[in-house]
């Protein structure tokens, strides 16, 4: 019945939704940003410690759907230890894949662990859930310190 949607709601997604990684307030963060998805009311607070262009630590807090929570959780795992530039490039790829047309060529391998979320492209109404954390990270890295919204 609900099996068809396992392409999006994979075990990994449920796992990260149930036990989000890096789900904490970061006291010594030097970047902090509030993300907001006005469509569903999801809120995320993203913390990062960026030193010399290196993302030394990243964490988040907030409430959201399984897709946005899992996406944020996966993101923090992946970008920790990356340079700002690497994170930026990964987001670009992720964004392209999640918003792309279904027929587009996708290089899932380059996405690594993030590939589990690629299925969201078949559910356009939910793409913003998957990208909220990334938009927030992007703003945090730019350090423009405002609330970001997915609109």
Partner 1 sequence: MSQPQPRFDLTKIRADFPILSQTINRHPLVYLDNAASTQKPKPVIDAIRKVYEEDYSNVHRGVHTLSQRCTDLFESAREKVQTFLNAKHGHEIIFVRGTTEAINLVAQTYGRKNVGPGDEILITAMEHHSNIVPWQMLCEAAGAVLKVAPISGTGELLLDGFAALLSERTRLVSVTHMSNALGTINPVEQIIAMAHARGIPVLLDGAQSAPHMTVDVQALDCDFYAFSGHKLYGPSGIGVLYGKESLLKAMPAWQGGGDMIRRVTFEKTEYNELPYKFEAGTPNIADTIALGAAIDYVNAIGVDAIAEHEHHLLAYATERALQIPELTLIGTAPHKGAILSFTLDHIHPHDIGTLLDQLGIAIRAGHHCAMPVMDFFEVPATARASFGLYNTCEEVDVLMDGIRQVIKMFG
| Positions that interact with partner 1 (CB under 8 A) | 1-2, 4-5, 8-9, 14, 39-43, 63-67, 123, 125-126, 129
For residues 8 and 48, which CB has a smaller minimum distance to partner 1 in the complex? 8
We find the least distance from the C-beta atom of residue 46 to partner 1, in angstroms, to be 17
- Residue 75 and residue 23 in contact, taking contact as beta carbons nearer than 8 Å: no
We find the least distance from the C-beta atom of residue 69 to partner 1, in angstroms, to be 8
Beta bridge partners of 47: 32, 59
We find the least distance from the C-beta atom of residue 151 to partner 1, in angstroms, to be 14
For residues 8 and 55, which CB has a smaller minimum distance to partner 1 in the complex? 8
We find the least distance from the C-beta atom of residue 60 to partner 1, in angstroms, to be 15
Contacting residues for 34 by C-beta, under 8 A, at least 6 apart: 43, 44, 45, 136, 147, 148
Residue 4 phi, psi dihedral angles, 5° rounding: -55, -30
Which of 46, 14, 12, 26 shows the shortest CA–CA distance to 147? 46
Q: Give the helix ranges, DSSP H, for the chain.
A: 11-18, 66-79, 84-99, 108-111, 127-142
For residues 51 and 125, which CB has a smaller minimum distance to partner 1 in the complex? 125
Residue 3 phi, psi dihedral angles, 5° rounding: -65, -30
For residues 87 and 118, which CB has a smaller minimum distance to partner 1 in the complex? 118
For residues 80 and 126, which CB has a smaller minimum distance to partner 1 in the complex? 126
We find the least distance from the C-beta atom of residue 12 to partner 1, in angstroms, to be 14
């Amino acid at each position: 019945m609900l099996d068809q949607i396992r392409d999006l709601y994979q075990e990994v997604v449920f796992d990260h939704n149930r036990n989000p990684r890096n789900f904490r307030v970061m006291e010594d963060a030097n970047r902090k940003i509030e993300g907001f998805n006005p469509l569903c009311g999801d809120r995320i607070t993203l913390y990062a410690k960026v030193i010399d262009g290196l993302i030394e630590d990243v964490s988040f807090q907030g409430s959201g759907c399984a897709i946005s929570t899992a996406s944020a959780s996966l993101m923090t795992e992946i970008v920790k230890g990356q340079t700002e530039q690497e994170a930026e490039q990964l987001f670009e790829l992720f964004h392209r894949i999640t918003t792309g047309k279904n027929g587009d060529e996708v290089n899932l391998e380059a996405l690594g662990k993030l590939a589990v979320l690629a299925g969201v492209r078949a559910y356009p109404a939910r793409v913003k859930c998957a990208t909220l954390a990334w938009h927030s990270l992007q703003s945090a890295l730019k350090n423009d310190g405002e609330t970001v919204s997915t609109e």
